A = this chain, B = another copy of it.
Amino acid sequence: MDITAHLERLRQALALADTEELKAWLAETHPSAVAECLDVLDEAELNTVLGSLNTEQTANLLSYLDGTKQAAVAALFSNEKLASIAAEMASDERVDLLQTLGERAEKIIYLMARHIREDIRNLASYAEGSAGAVMTSDYVALKPEMTVEAAINTLRHEAPDKETIYYAYVIDHARKLLGLVSLKRLILSAPHEKIADIMRQELVTVKTDDSQELAAKKLSKYDLLAVPVVTDDEVLVGIITFDDVLDVQQEEATTDFHRMGTVGALKGAFSETPLWTLFLKRIPWLLVLVFVNIFSGAGIAFFEDTIQSMVSLVFFLPLLIDSGGNAGSQSATLMVRALATGEVKLGDWFKMLRKEILVAVAIGLAMALAVSVIGFYRAPEVAMVVTMTMVLVVIVGSTIGMLLPFLLTRFNLDPATASAPLITSLSDVTGVLIYFSIATWYLDLV
């Protein structure tokens, strides 16, 4: 059923004020689809829908709203009601919700049960972007001396409150992580077998202060449903599930995209970002690039006499400097992405450089051939200079584009900072110098 069909049914129920049908629709429909439908409702309709949800349904719905909408919906509830809704949410979603509430959060936390309060303080204490900040504490824990039968009973009992029951984690009395048992393994084992005998002991784990990206990479690499998060003493504190990893992976790619387009990392949805924030995220790099471009201008000023004596050189200036930048943007893009996915590592730089130079020479010669045709036809007096310059700017641009991501990684900066505009501006400076140097030398010869 797609969103249009859902919306139609919802609108009809609202129009007829058919409470039974509305409740039936809410019970049958995935909260993600309900969330999508809310976007187009007016305030009165929104209130009717929210009024027809029970606490658990409201909790599920809130998990699928982004920050701005969460805050708007939360504003419609009393503190007491919101506390009971938040108590029903998954532990990681609950912390996200509270973080959108600002000062009101403290009042709501105060209204919750003590073990939930402690859980919130604990989860909220990890740095943004860390595994600790994205994990949930709603995992199933088993003891090694349990039987399979007892373990399955525990799973049955705890299922409603847990993020997943397909993986259960085996811990000792000090909550140290001993092993993992999947539900698959449990139903394939005899009821009287001991958990200690059937658990997997070689586990893939992450530490609380590892990056979310590392957790995502490990889960994806080993095709896991969830990765356990442990302290330095191997004490289990949470798990990160595949659905959160899908989001993390998508967010990481978005941040890299934006960085490659010289836009600072945005918090939350782009379409919700206010004008002023967008301005602040975009202006810094544009100003840095103006600064880099001043060197191109200075280069040109240095060669003023050459230009004065042969103005047709200027015709080819944008074409030549852009070509170097374009070839460089290509190699930077290839390197940034290969470094981000882990396919290429810092140590591979020399192998990559060798390959890049060979490709760049081939590209430079092909481009020079193309430009020489135009050159000899349109401006034969500068055609040789343009052709020679093209080979060189492509090779230099490609090399800059290829090396910069490695250099940035080497100094613990994000390789995606090697954006197309930065490479273009750097290639412009070198391109101007190469072009007019060759021109000065060659025209002196003639």
Q: A113 at interface (Cβ–Cβ under 8 A)?
A: no
In the complex, the chain B residue whose C-beta lies closest to that of A186 is: B187
Q: Does A254 contact B (CB under 8 A)?
A: yes
Q: Is the interface of A mostly helix, strand, loop or mixed?
A: helix
Q: Does A408 contact B (CB under 8 A)?
A: no
A235 at the interface (CB under 8 A from B): no
A4 touches B (CB below 8 Å): no
A242 within 8 A of B: yes
Do A187 and B152 have beta carbons less than 8 Å apart?
yes
In the complex, which residues of chain B have a beta carbon less than 8 angstroms from the beta carbon of A287? 366-367, 370
- Closest B-chain residue to A303, C-beta based? B314
| Residues 199-220 (chain A) with a chain B CB within 8 angstroms | 202, 204, 219-220
**Among B30, B204, B221, contact of A204 (Cβ-Cβ < 8 Å):** B30
Residue A53 CB within 8 A of the other chain:
no
Q: A188-B159, A318-B428, A333-B257 are in contact. Are A343 and B296 (CB under 8 A)?
A: no
Q: A155 and B187 in contact (CB under 8 A), knowing A249-B249, A279-B362?
A: yes
Interface mask (A290-322 → B, CB under 8 Å = 1, otherwise 0): 100110111011001001100110111111011
A140 to B159, CA, bound (A): 22
- Taking A165-B184, A307-B314, A314-B314 as contacts, is the C-beta distance between A323 and B290 under 8 angstroms? yes
How many Å lie between the Cα of A326 and that of B29 in the bound state? 44
Q: Across the interface, which residues of B come within 8 angstroms of A323, CB to CB? A: 286, 289-290, 293
- The stretch of A76-84, A95-103, A115-123, A270-278 that contacts the partner chain: A270-278
Encode A417-434 as 1/0 by CB contact (under 8 A) with B. Answer: 001110011001000100
- B261 close to A334 (CB less than 8 A): yes
Shortest Cβ distance from residue A248 to the other chain B in the assembled complex, whole angstroms: 10
Task: Name the residue of chain B whose CB is nearest to the CB of A221.
Answer: B32
From residue A334, how far is it (CB to closest CB) to chain B in Å?
Answer: 6
Contact with B along A31-53 (1 / 0, CB 8 A): 01100000000000000000000
Chain B residue, CB-CB nearest to A185: B159
> With an 8 A cutoff between CB atoms, is A332 at the interface?
yes
For the complex formed, measure the closest distance between the CB of A286 and the CB atoms of chain B, giving whole angstroms: 6
In the assembled complex, the Cα of A362 lies from the Cα of B286 at a distance in Å of 12
- Report if A112 contacts B (CB, 8 A): no
A261-B330, A311-B304 given; A183·B202 CB < 8 A:
no
Q: Which of B220, B366, B421 contacts A322 (CB 8 A)?
A: B421
Evaluate contact between A275 and B187: CB separation under 8 angstroms: no
Task: Check A125 for interface membership: any CB of B closer than 8 A.
Answer: no
Q: Tell me the nearest residue of chain B to A322, going by C-beta.
A: B293
Query: What residues on B are CB-neighbors of A363 within 8 Å?
Result: 279, 282-283, 286
- A325 contacts partner chain B, Cβ-Cβ < 8 Å: yes
- The complex places the Cα of A424 from the Cα of B289 at a distance, in Å, of 13
- 26 pairs, CB–CB < 8 Å, chain A vs chain B: A32-B223, A183-B183, A220-B246, A225-B225, A242-B243, A249-B253, A258-B337, A261-B330, A262-B333, A263-B330, A270-B344, A271-B338, A275-B359, A278-B359, A279-B363, A279-B366, A282-B330, A282-B359, A293-B319, A317-B317, A318-B318, A318-B321, A318-B428, A322-B421, A325-B421, A329-B419
Residues of A within 8 A of B (CB): 1, 28-30, 32-33, 152, 155-156, 159, 165-166, 183-184, 187-188, 202, 204, 219-223, 225, 242-243, 245-247, 249-250, 253-254, 256-258, 260-263, 269-271, 275, 278-279, 282-283, 285-287, 289-290, 293-294, 296-298, 300-301, 304, 307-308, 311-312, 314-319, 321-323, 325-327, 329-330, 332-334, 336-338, 341, 343-344, 348, 352, 355, 358-359, 362-363, 366-367, 370-371, 374, 378, 419-421, 424-425, 428, 432
List 3 tightest A-B contacts by C-beta distance, closest first: A261-B333, A420-B420, A293-B319
